Amino acid sequence: MKIVVLTGAGISAESGIQTFRASDGLWENHRIEDVATPEGFMKNPNLVYQFYNERRRQLLSPGISPNPAHIALAELEKQGKHEVLVVTQNIDDLHERAGTQNIIHMHGELLLSRCEVSGITHEARQDVTEEDECPCCTPGARLRPHVVWFGEMPLEMERIYEALSDCDLFLSIGTSGNVYPAAGFVAEAKAYGARAVEINLEASMTATQFDEHIYGPAGTVLSEFLMTLP
């Protein structure tokens, strides 16, 4: 079977990474327009650098590691019985740390910076500030988070739509279905005849578009569901 898995912040919640829209979520103490838009970055770059530096420090801290949900997806791919593509809205590297290889970070990656002149990405595992210069230009240019902000085009959309048009199972895990175009993927996959399953803590904004729903913590319910696959 060809399986496309869309993941959101909920799959990393049990690893200790805050989600966005929960009561203690990231958007509780930051205005989206201030920290996740190009305009916000233009207006106050230091606030944006700090927002991502805090999240990067947390991601790289010793207590953060993949949880059973990330591991279950990596096992599914490794078994080799199905063709698995993980399309994640998350900018953490927990899928990779669990062993997933076939992955698209459609909203970018926290551990990469991008040169504002050349567009080349560079590893970012330390704090990044406005004073940092890219290693690819002379003179060095400013580095921005390699993250897709609101109003910016998500990455590898062609490859994602190609996979959605050709999958047997579309599995959505840990996303509230608020953000487009990711929230539109279920309709896309269904239009091509895929079976659509939602795994989440509670019904997402697009829940009615799914054939099946499994509600509970992904770290527990995902591996149970994957065992039912042929």
Please identify, using beta-carbon distances, which residue of 151 and 193 lies nearer to ligand BV8.
151
Is-contact 172 199, C-beta < 8 A? yes
Query: Within positions 101 to 160, which residues make up the interface with ligand BV8, using CB under 6 A?
Result: 107, 147-154
Closest residue to ligand BV8: CB criterion: 10
Please identify, using beta-carbon distances, which residue of 141 and 214 lies nearer to ligand BV8.
214
> Is-catalytic flag, 105?
no
User: Quick one: which of 62, 80, 131, 180 contacts ligand BV8 (CB under 6 A)?
Assistant: 180
- Two tokens, residue 224: 């149970």
Is-contact 176 182, C-beta < 8 A? no
Please identify, using beta-carbon distances, which residue of 12 and 167 lies nearer to ligand BV8.
12
From the list 17-25, 57-65, 118-126, 163-171, the region that binds ligand BV8 by CB under 6 A is 17-25
Is-contact 40 47, C-beta < 8 A? yes
* Count of residues touching ligand BV8 (by CB under 6 A): 36
Report if residue 49 touches ligand BV8, rule: CB under 6 A: no
Mask 158-177, x = binds ligand BV8 (CB under 6 A)? ----------------xxx-
User: Quick one: which of 3, 5, 8, 66 contacts ligand BV8 (CB under 6 A)?
Assistant: 8
Min separation Cβ 139 and ligand BV8, Å: 29
Sheet holding 2-7, edge to edge: 103-105, 83-88, 2-7, 169-173, 195-200, 212-215
Q: Where along the sequence are the contacts to ligand BV8 (CB under 6 A)?
A: 8-10, 13-14, 19-22, 25, 36, 89-91, 107, 147-154, 174-176, 178-181, 200-202, 204, 217-218
Residues forming the active site: 107
